[in-house]
Amino acid sequence: PPAAAEIDAAMGRDHGEGLRKQHVLPLLASLLHRDGRAITAHYPEGVVAAGHAASALQHLSCPNHGIREAIRKGGAIPHLVALLDLEVKDTPASSPQWKCVTAAAGALRNLSYDNLANRHAIRDCGGLGALAPH
């Protein structure tokens, strides 16, 4: 995977297109789940990694339609929706679970911006119902 400096350089130069070409989006998407299963609060390292990945996808998807398309095509949307189901009751707002849920919701918001296909993908995997309690 590219080093942090390479990620920062790619983001500043071309709003993430360099990252898409370096195949970083599939790596980030793979951190949103554990072997195809949803991340749970019983796997704290996974919650932290998924939260960071969701946050990165949130920021990458904001300025770039091509990145939003690539994230959907890479299968990340169902995993972002699944993260909304993390148990956050009775946990402080600074907990990894809350940070993960917040980042996933932010990523879904950005992915839905000006992108009907992404809106449909979010709806089709239960994203509207999952967002309602938050």
The residue ranges of DSSP E strands in the chain, in sequence order, are: 33-34, 37-38
112 vs 22, more confident: 112
Using CA atoms, how far apart are residues 79 and 84, in angstroms rounded to an integer?
A: 9
pLDDT band at 55 (very low <50, low <70, confident <90, very high): very high
Q: What DSSP designation does 126 have? A: T
What's the pLDDT score for residue 27?
82
| 6-36: pLDDT as tens digits | 545 555 555 556 655 557 788 888 888 877 7
pLDDT band at 130 (very low <50, low <70, confident <90, very high): confident
Assign 3-state DSSP to the chain and report helix, strand, coil percentages, each to 5. 65, 5, 30
Using CA atoms, how far apart are residues 86 and 88, in angstroms rounded to an integer?
A: 6
| 76-90: pLDDT as tens digits | 999 999 999 888 888
**Other beta carbons less than 10 A from residue 94's beta carbon:** 7
